[in-house]
Amino acid sequence: MIYRIIQKRRFFLSISTLAVVISIVALFVWGLNFGIDFTGGSLLEVEFKNYQPTISEIQNSLKDSGLHNLVIQPTENSTILRFQENSEDVHQNIVKNLATIVKDKKDASFKELQFDAVGPSIGKELKSKSFNATAICFIMIIVFISIAFNKVSKPVASWKYGVAAIIALVHDILFILGVFAFLGHYYGVEVNTPFIAAILTVLGYSVSDTIIVFDRIRENLPKSQEDFENTVNRSVNQTLVRSINTSFAAILALLAVLFFGGSTIKDFALALIIGIFIGTYSSIFIASPVLVVWNKLSHRK
């Protein structure tokens, strides 16, 4: 059975355009909730055994510590505190005050699990390097695809394959950023360096999926008796099951990490799940239709 994916490109491109517009609006209205990796500050993770204090108890124990932008996040096995100060004196004072919560509780104990501090200048440098790494990744992808498809000149020039892949990648990135802007505003999900690692991973995964489709188009073009639109549609159908099955297997593994992994990697796993899902969608319903639309516009001119 041949699905008329390319023939229904207006529908799929309209959905994607709407999703991108909503994502851009979310970014402008809410922005990303940058974590201490980018803004500077401290993260302290502690564990209370045999007694779980309430958020109010923790706040009361730290009311004399003079902390700014304190965020308390209870997890299944620990409690994470984020605050603006990053000095060692403040760190030790907080640990001392938190330990007093279980001082008079029978069989209860307190343990510090981890402490990370980032200065504002380091945070700005990390943000700059993260954006630069993403931009370089985009450029290298265009160059790589242009070289890989240099023998394909008709009816679409080789460099257009690279641009089509980048359009799909921009769609993926904006969608992920829009989702995390929403999650950051309503659920306090932060964007840290693991998120950037997830974005770069998604870029590689998505472009790999797109290249599989493009490669099948390249194989079919010389021997196809159909026009470019139908050749592309047949190529997409030939790789459809493989793309979906591969992505589904990856998402299953990431779901296990999301639900059973530690709290420190849940946001990373969530970004990958969203990215792989939307990357698979874009490689099928965005990149290839863009080639066909571009080809038709060139013929009209």
Confidence at residue 230, expressed as pLDDT on a 0 to 100 scale: 92
Euclidean distance between CA atoms 52 and 55, whole angstroms: 9
Strand blocks (E) in the chain: 41-49, 71-74, 79-83, 109-118
Element containing residue 181 per DSSP (H, E): helix 158-187
Confidence at residue 138, expressed as pLDDT on a 0 to 100 scale: 78
Residue by residue, pLDDT tens for the chain (301 residues) are 788 999 999 999 999 999 999 999 999 999 998 877 777 788 888 988 888 888 888 888 888 777 877 878 887 788 888 887 878 888 888 988 888 888 878 888 888 988 888 776 666 777 788 788 878 877 887 788 777 777 665 677 777 888 888 899 999 999 999 999 999 999 888 888 888 889 888 888 888 888 889 889 888 888 878 888 999 999 999 999 999 999 999 999 999 988 887 666 888 899 999 999 999 999 999 999 999 998 888 777 6
Confidence at residue 191, expressed as pLDDT on a 0 to 100 scale: 87
Give 97's contacts (C-beta < 8 A, 6+ positions apart): 61, 62, 64, 65
Confidence at residue 152, expressed as pLDDT on a 0 to 100 scale: 62
Confidence at residue 120, expressed as pLDDT on a 0 to 100 scale: 64
Q: Mind listing the pLDDT tens digit for each residue in 247-291?
A: 999 999 999 988 887 666 888 899 999 999 999 999 999 999 999
Q: Mind listing the pLDDT tens digit for each residue in 19-61?
A: 999 999 999 999 998 877 777 788 888 988 888 888 888 888 8
Euclidean distance between CA atoms 42 and 156, whole angstroms: 52
Confidence at residue 297, expressed as pLDDT on a 0 to 100 scale: 82
Nearest Cα to 79, choosing from 70, 90, 68, 67?
A: 70
- Domains belonging to the chain, first-starting first, are 6-32+121-300 (1.20.1640.10), 41-118 (3.30.70.3400)
Confidence at residue 179, expressed as pLDDT on a 0 to 100 scale: 95
